[in-house]
Structure 1
Amino acid sequence: MNDSTSLMMIAGVVAAIVALVAWLGDRRRMRRRDMDRVGFMPWTPIFFWSLLAAVLLLGLGGQSLLGG
């Protein structure tokens, strides 16, 4: 495993963690009791882009890790 593969895998795991946090933030926003407190974080786009990055980075890292 070379440095670029391990870097892609680490970045993919970090992006997956960010996607999980954004998903939990979006879920918390949808289930809030006080509907007037909307917050300021755009959780849905953060989730989308971080999940996309995680899938691509982990897919490319896994492909090169498996020898493809």
Structure 2
Amino acid sequence: MQGSMLTIGISAAALFGIAEVANWRRNNRRDVDNVGFMPWRGIALASAAIAIFATAFALRG
């Protein structure tokens, strides 16, 4: 159980990094009308929360 929660935490932290890079790219795009459809801010927030809780559960063990 402890190892699987730590794996989930690491995966969620990686997803958080990807979402933040994608959100930064969205904010600095050249074509203002080319917005896209992915809610990167929400994905980053959800993955950060999952990473924190999964890591806390893994450390509590």
TM-score category of the 2 structures, normalised to the smaller one: over 0.9
The reply on whether 1:58 has 2:58 as its aligned counterpart is: no
Equivalent residue for 2:12?
15
What are structure 2's unaligned runs of at least 5 residues? none
Alignment of 1:40-51 (within 5 A): 40-51=37-48
Q: Which protein has the larger Cα radius of gyration, Structure 1 or Structure 2?
A: 1
Report 1 or 2 for greater relative contact order, CA contacts < 8 Å, sequence distance ≥ 6: 2
Query: How far apart are residue 48 of structure 1 and its match?
Result: 0.3
Equivalent residue for 1:25?
22
Q: What is the aligned-residue RMSD (CA, Å)?
A: 0.7
Following TM superposition, where does structure 1 have runs of at least 4 consecutive aligned residues deviating by more than 4 angstroms? Answer: none
Query: How far apart are residue 60 of structure 1 and its match?
Result: 1.5
Separation (CA, whole Å) in 2 of partners of 1:25 and 1:59: 27
Q: Which amino acid aligns with 2:30?
A: R
TM-score norm. by structure 2 comes to 0.94
- Secondary structure (helix, strand or coil) at the match of 1:51 reads helix
Q: Give a deviation string over 1:17-46, Cα, whole Å, max 9, x none.
A: 111100110011001111000011110000
What are structure 1's unaligned runs of at least 5 residues? none
The total of aligned residue pairs comes to 61
TM-score norm. by structure 1 comes to 0.85
Q: Which amino acid aligns with 1:20?
A: G
Equivalent residue for 2:36?
39
